[in-house]
Amino acid sequence: MSRTVTLVDYGIGNVFSVSRALETAGAEVLLTDKPEDLDKAERLVLPGVGAFADCMSSLRERGLVDPLLRFAGSGRPFLGICVGMQMLATYSEEFGCHEGLNLIPGRVSGLPNVDKDGLPLKIPHIGWTQLHHAPDQAWTGSPLGDTAEGESVYLVHSYAVTPDDPAHSLATCFYGGLPICAAIRSNNIFGVQFHPEKSGPSGLRILSRFLQC
């Protein structure tokens, strides 16, 4: 089985650390900002850090939105990381209302600033957090297929996705005792709010599993 991954470089994001992690997981990585490379890709990873609107703007400026939509509709494996996951949603409420790729219908909204007991929560949410199965969801056949319930990953975020269809929520984490969507899935399209490239052996297993999807 080929383990070639096309990593989208649109001028924003931690592409080199993601690239190194993918290579460590066994991938041959093509780092590119060329629309034609996305059309030929076998597997695709869309990373992202920073503001949702800036990331979407950079994709549009490089003519990458339509190739991403074509790729997603092709049935080939697609993984969004952090803001790359958020851009899979319909829109974000970060600094206004901004359209996303609408590949997994839902909204991106700010994390709650108080915990389940009404006490202040520090935003952004930074640190290692345990992953849990979303209700009625199995991780088989997803990048989390080799991940154990309660395994920890590394997050840095102030916003999170809420899918319109709860069945698209793959994994949950908790912050201040409140559930936050940590991973989403719809057919061949996956997204993780956490950073597998910063999550040690757990993250490498997740990337390695993506190479088998």
Contact 32, 64 (CB under 8 A): no
CA dist., res. 115 & res. 132, Å (int): 19
Active site residue 195: yes
CA dist., res. 104 & res. 86, Å (int): 9
Q: How many helices (H) and strands (E) does the chain have?
A: 6, 14
| Token pair 């949702």: residue | 52
CA dist., res. 183 & res. 191, Å (int): 5
HSE (side-chain half, CA atoms, 13 Å) at 88: 32
Among residues 82, 125, 168, 181, which one is catalytic? 82
Among residues 36, 168, 197, 213, which one is catalytic? 197
**Cross-sheet strand order for the sheet of 178-186:** 28-32, 4-8, 44-46, 78-81, 189-192, 178-186, 169-175, 132-133
Active site residue 82: yes
Catalytic residues: 82, 195, 197
